[in-house]
Structure 1
Amino acid sequence: MTEQSRPQELPARLLTDPEMIKACRARDIASVFRLVKIKAGIYPSMIGKRCGLTPSRVGEVITGRRQLQHMDVIERISDGLRIPGHMLGLARRSWETPQALGVAEREGREEQGPTQQQPVSLPGPDVDSILAVATCTSLSAATLDAFRSSIEDYWRRDDQHGGEALRPAIVGQLRYVVGLLEESRPLTIRNGLYSVAAELARLTGWTYFDARQYSQARTYFTQALQLAKETDDRQFMANVLACMSLQATYQDKPADALAFVSAAQDQARSALGTTPRVLAMLSMREAFAHATLGSRDLTHRAIGDAHRHFEQIQAGDADPSWVTYFDESKLIVDTGIAHGRLGEAATAEPLIADALRREHRANKRGRAFHAFWLARTQLDQGKLEQACQTATQALEPASAVASERVSGHLREFHEDLAPHRDEPVALAFEARLRALLPVVSGSIRP
């Protein structure tokens, strides 16, 4: 097959789209064709040409008047649209392994001479070809460690710059790791891959949550839960449910937030070796849910539980890597935010101010986020000048990170300034806002 006649591959964003994955898994060809048409711009006539079907047959499938279930037709669709075989429940298709690699492997088997070594041909320029080469290598504990190191790096960069630019790489790696699970692996390697895939799915969900794209976030959080369930990792399932609880508070669904965090705590308590740090983090998420509901006593009780668990932390605790961020500064600032959510601004202000002083400067989003909360508690107490100065301090780190969550908070603060809009400090803040965050300022009312 010449380069010109080889079918064009579908966009990676379509192949990793949860709707596409679900349609392929169910062999819902009508939905597959519709998604290919809408999201890849490949119309029925071209779909038919690629898959050996008439345009009218494709139209009948899309409208639900005909179903395609014969295996040979499914294989033609996989090959014609370049849908990886595992997505449709098929064996790896011949085109998924680069031709040059197959030739090099055969030549390697024929050449037995120890002094002659054939150079390995490079894969094609597309990502799937490169990953196909990597898939052929054996996996080890070191491979899993490399995956985990890359996830830690993603989290660091997410703190510094936001997850928008990282998301394609994260989704690509998630897709790759899930593909590795299609092949037979030793149990320890297989469980490790499930753990890595679950962490990547949660990270993807987090980037969508931070972008306030809540439907997509929940899809990936759900996938993370399913992957963690494969290895019965209840602590990690608790972590994902805690993320879903936090998202529910942002969606103004406090009852859902409480239900999610209660489920998270049940999972954590039923797990062996759940550490005090994990329990402290979950208690603080519970405090957020109660505060959003306006339940003062229950919020205070959950805050107390969080501090009690935190005091039980010992140096030798085997904390999961994903909870190590929950240090003393995080405990303090979250305590302040919980009080702030309750409207207890005077209690919240010194706590958030103390934590902000300790915040690492590399964590741009955290500094912007916590400065917003400090400004809000100051404004709630009538400290207009202080509040505007604090909010102005949030603008510089906010401008360095792509986070719709942070931008949304700054819009909220600007709206809260409406009664004071003509005051010099408010005008100065707005001018700085428009200069540093033009995207945010373009969405605020003059």
Structure 2
Amino acid sequence: MPREHRGPNEKLGTMLALAGMSNAGLARRVNDLGAQRGLTLRYDKTSVARWVAKGMVPQGAAPHLIAAAIGSKLGRPVPLHEIGLADADPTPEVGLAFPRDVGEAVKSATDLWRLDLAGRRDFLTGSFAVTAYATPASRWLITPADGSVAREPTGPGAVRVGHSDVTKLREAADDARRWDSKYGGGDWRSGMVPECLRVEAAPLLLGSYSDDVGRALFGATAELTRLAGWMAFDTGQQEAAQRYYIQALRLARAAADLPLGGYVLASMSLQAIYRGFADEGVDLAQAAVERNRGLATARTLSFFHMVEARAHAKAGDAAACAAALSAAESWLERSRDGDQDPAWLGFYSYDRLAADAAECYRDLRVPRQVRRFTETALARPTEDFVRSHGLRLVVSAVAELESGNLDAACAAGARAVEVAGRISSARTTEYVRDLLHRLERYGNEPCVVELRERARPLLAAPA
């Protein structure tokens, strides 16, 4: 049963007015957000009236869903205290902080890792808010590296961390990257990354280590945390991805690893773009570029410029996109086999640049360029990059469709559906769904009907 407040919840009423939401509108949005998380809620305008006028506090996930619904209208995170529900479980705030102190940073990260994000539908109930990246990005830009991170023993049972411990974490990150590319972020093996962070990494960060070992340890845990975020992003868990990314950036700062911090910012940028925040995506990608000039390898800078191009394309700025793509290609041409490229960049080569260039021109609606770059992107063998191949096939299908080649579009779409059915990637499924939406205007054309039937099991599968 809902709990009583002492009188009306004036804060909630004020925030509803500020967001321009009616009682019925809030109830509907809360029910929808609950359904997205597997919850069956039946709130209506009378329920909301009770929350406001009588100060009733709904139980379970509802307070956080209310905050998320209002936050999505305002375009920023809304903490529970701002809507008069501060006495609800504060757990959903975990992972959003970017502490200045290294010790607090360790606590912030390990608190997040200890939560089973995939298994708790009542935890991450806030909508993705790109504004949550503002403070982490600005603090990283101002101070991208901490002072000494050495940690002294805190008791007789403290773990003494050495480079061999760090090596194990890096090997786990290498394995996870391969799983993700081949099987998608939702593959059962992907769950081993959060488990590794909880069981293996957390005790090490809470152990004792020299500054040198500590830097390496923070770098390895930052890599794994970014991977956890990327896998959450690929499976549609945007709230979880955002929290992992914020903590990964904080850990990269403790590692004094600017290229890795830039990689996290690039990941944040791609998520912002995917969620429709192109301008913020540009800012995040440019932050990665600017802080790494003269520091990162040529291949790394090429990747950052490529992400910047994606953001410009989504914003509809063709000239800025072309300039960023040109910079990406120029830096990639300067790279050499002997460069000390980071291990996490092993996926990036000219075919990946071509694939993203194709997506840029898809967003800019230049199908001739999409087809040109997609041909290069699809030339790479697919056994280790199955998800990427599926995404490229969908982009190719869209280009064929916009060029008036319906049969070719459906053929590429059918191949994409076959690939998507072999992996666990909500993002790939969403690409297929978008293609089918574009094909709706062709009604019952035989090839469209056939493709729709092929895709039906994929689209009906649970997320």
1:183 to partner: Cα distance: 1.8
Report whether the alignment pairs 1:246 with 2:270.
yes
User: Where do residues 255-334 of structure 1 align in structure 2 (5 Å cutoff)?
Assistant: 255-269=279-293, 273-334=295-356
What's the secondary structure of 1:317's corresponding residue?
coil
Report whether the alignment pairs 1:386 with 2:386.
no
Determine which of 434, 442, 446 is the counterpart of 1:420: 442
| Paired position in structure 2 for 1:171 | 194
Report whether the alignment pairs 1:376 with 2:398.
yes
> 1:307 is aligned with what amino acid?
E
2: CA distance between counterparts of 1:330 and 1:359?
12
Q: What is the TM-score with the length of structure 1 in the denominator?
A: 0.67
2: CA distance between counterparts of 1:392 and 1:345?
19
Q: For each residue in 1:87-126, what CA deviation from the matched residue of structure 2 results, as whole angstroms up to 9, or x when unmatched?
A: 69xxxxxxxxxxxxxxxxxxxxxxxxxxxxxxxxxxxxxx
**Cα distance, 1:149–1:383 mapped onto 2, change above 3 Å:** same
Q: For each residue in 1:166-213, what CA deviation from the matched residue of structure 2 results, as whole angstroms up to 9, or x when unmatched?
A: 343211211231331112112222222111110111001101111122
User: Where do residues 427-446 of structure 1 align in structure 2 (5 Å cutoff)?
Assistant: 427-435=449-457, 437-439=458-460
| Paired position in structure 2 for 1:232 | 256
1:383 to partner: Cα distance: 0.8
Q: For each residue in 1:104-158, what CA deviation from the matched residue of structure 2 results, as whole angstroms up to 9, or x when unmatched?
A: xxxxxxxxxxxxxxxxxxxxxxxxxxxxxxx977543233222211111111111
- Equivalent pair of 1:329/1:359 in contact (CA under 8 Å): no
- Equivalent pair of 2:166/2:220 in contact (CA under 8 Å): yes
Q: For each residue in 1:30-63, what CA deviation from the matched residue of structure 2 results, as whole angstroms up to 9, or x when unmatched?
A: xxxxxxx959xxxxxxxxxxxxxxxxxxxxxx98
1:363 to partner: Cα distance: 1.8
2: CA distance between counterparts of 1:274 and 1:281?
11
Unpaired stretches in structure 2, ≥5 consecutive residues: 1-58, 62-84, 89-105, 109-156
**Cα distance, 1:64–1:424 mapped onto 2, change above 3 Å:** closer
**Cα distance, 1:280–1:64 mapped onto 2, change above 3 Å:** closer
User: Where do residues 354-373 of structure 1 align in structure 2 (5 Å cutoff)?
Assistant: 354-373=376-395
Indicate the larger mover: 179-188 or 380-389: 179-188
> 1:396 is aligned with what amino acid?
E
1:329 to partner: Cα distance: 1.1
**Cα distance, 1:314–1:38 mapped onto 2, change above 3 Å:** same
2: CA distance between counterparts of 1:287 and 1:373?
16
User: Where do residues 25-424 of structure 1 align in structure 2 (5 Å cutoff)?
Assistant: 139-164=161-186, 165-175=188-198, 176-269=200-293, 273-424=295-446
What's the secondary structure of 1:358's corresponding residue?
coil
- Equivalent pair of 2:179/2:190 in contact (CA under 8 Å): no
1:293 to partner: Cα distance: 0.8
> 1:172 is aligned with what amino acid?
E
1: CA distance between counterparts of 2:248 and 2:201?
13
- Equivalent pair of 1:235/1:268 in contact (CA under 8 Å): yes
Q: What RMSD in Å do the two structures reach over aligned CA positions?
A: 2.4
- Equivalent pair of 1:340/1:377 in contact (CA under 8 Å): yes
2: CA distance between counterparts of 1:145 and 1:181?
14
1:393 to partner: Cα distance: 0.5
1: CA distance between counterparts of 2:207 and 2:159?
12
Once the two structures are aligned, what percentage of the paired residues are identical? 27
**Cα distance, 1:64–1:241 mapped onto 2, change above 3 Å:** closer
2: CA distance between counterparts of 1:303 and 1:429?
33
1:265 to partner: Cα distance: 1.1
1: CA distance between counterparts of 2:460 and 2:214?
44
1: CA distance between counterparts of 2:420 and 2:297?
33
1: CA distance between counterparts of 2:228 and 2:424?
15
What's the secondary structure of 2:339's corresponding residue?
coil
1:422 to partner: Cα distance: 0.7
1: CA distance between counterparts of 2:335 and 2:350?
11
> 2:286 is aligned with what amino acid?
S
1:350 to partner: Cα distance: 2.3
Q: For each residue in 1:219-246, what CA deviation from the matched residue of structure 2 results, as whole angstroms up to 9, or x when unmatched?
A: 1100001001112211111100000111
Q: Comparing both chains, which one has the higher relative contact order based on Cα–Cα distances under 8 Å and sequence gaps of 6 or more? A: 2
- Equivalent pair of 1:205/1:216 in contact (CA under 8 Å): yes
Structure number with bigger Rg: 1
> 1:168 is aligned with what amino acid?
G
Residue-pair matches, total: 315
2: CA distance between counterparts of 1:359 and 1:302?
27
What's the secondary structure of 2:378's corresponding residue?
helix
Unpaired stretches in structure 1, ≥5 consecutive residues: 1-36, 40-61, 66-85, 89-134
1: CA distance between counterparts of 2:390 and 2:405?
19
> 1:169 is aligned with what amino acid?
M
